[in-house]
Structure 1
Amino acid sequence: MGTLTEFRNITDTEDFFEFFDLQFDERLINAKRFHIMKKFGELVEKASGHDFGGDEKLLEYYKFALITVYKNFENGYSPSAADVWEMFDKPSACGTCSTSSSCNDVEEVSHGVHACTSHNTITF
């Protein structure tokens, strides 16, 4: 496992799994990428402000969170329609503010599609 700085620089879903040395089904990631990363992002956000006693423990929490979310989807979890529509109600599309509605850098980029302009590249 790498450092917290390395973790914060990850942008691709597969790279999170590789960072934590976790096996994954590429077909599942391709089919549920957005939902997996949304739930993982929510758990990462919940960790902010908590004292885990160091970066290593925080990274262990992140690893456990990713395993938990992935296993839920692997075992057939499917977000409810309400969860899906809630995602569209929150137009933010960046890793920093995707779990919050406080982003001020969201702009409509094309026919109702919104994106956060504070980050140049956005990948899930």
Structure 2
Amino acid sequence: MGTLAEFEQISDTEDFFDFFDLEYDERLVQVKRFHIMKKFGELVEKASGHDFGGDEKLLEYYRFALITVYKNFENGYSPSAADVWEMFDKPSACGTCSTSTSCSSVEEVSNGVHACVSQNSISF
């Protein structure tokens, strides 16, 4: 496992699994990528403001959070339609990119999927 600074630079789902040296089913990650990262991001966000006694303990929490989320999906968890559609009612993490036309830093990241690249922080 690397450092917190290295963790904060990760943007690809597979790279999170590799960072924590976790095995994963590539097909499952391909199909459930968005949902896995959304749930993982919620757990990462919950950790903010808590004192874990250092970066190593915080990274252990993040590792456990990713394992938990992944295992839920591996065991058949499927988000409800309300969970999926709720994301469209919320502004993007950037705060300036609620639509791809209002941000000059939106780029195609994969197969027609666009994302704001102006942020240095993790976005889920």
SS of match in other structure, 1:68: helix
TM-score by length of 2: 0.81
2:60 maps to 60
The equivalences for 1:67-106 within 5 A come to 67-92=67-92, 97=93, 103-106=94-97
- Give the whole-Å Cα distance in 2 for the aligned partners of 1:53 and 1:106: 35
- Decide whether the 8 Å contact of 2:13 with 2:37 is kept in 1: yes
- Give the whole-Å Cα distance in 2 for the aligned partners of 1:50 and 1:123: 20
C-alpha displacement of 1:4: 0.3
C-alpha displacement of 1:88: 1.6
- Tell me which moved more, 81-90 or 26-35: 81-90
SS of match in other structure, 1:58: helix
SS of match in other structure, 1:108: coil
Provide the aligned C-alpha RMSD in A. 2.4
Q: Alignment length, in residue pairs?
A: 112
C-alpha displacement of 1:109: 2.0
1:44 maps to 44
- Decide whether the 8 Å contact of 1:108 with 1:114 is kept in 2: no
- Give the whole-Å Cα distance in 2 for the aligned partners of 1:44 and 1:123: 11
- Give the whole-Å Cα distance in 1 for the aligned partners of 2:56 and 2:48: 14
Cα gap change, 1:30 to 1:123, in 2 (>3 Å): farther
C-alpha displacement of 1:118: 3.2
2:13 maps to 13
**1:109 aligned to 100, 106, 114, which one?**
100
1:100 maps to none
- Give the whole-Å Cα distance in 2 for the aligned partners of 1:6 and 1:88: 30
- Give the whole-Å Cα distance in 2 for the aligned partners of 1:70 and 1:33: 10
TM-score by length of 1: 0.81
User: For structure 2, which runs of at least 5 residues remain unmatched after alignment?
Assistant: 102-112
- Decide whether the 8 Å contact of 1:107 with 1:117 is kept in 2: no
User: For structure 1, which runs of at least 5 residues remain unmatched after alignment?
Assistant: 98-102
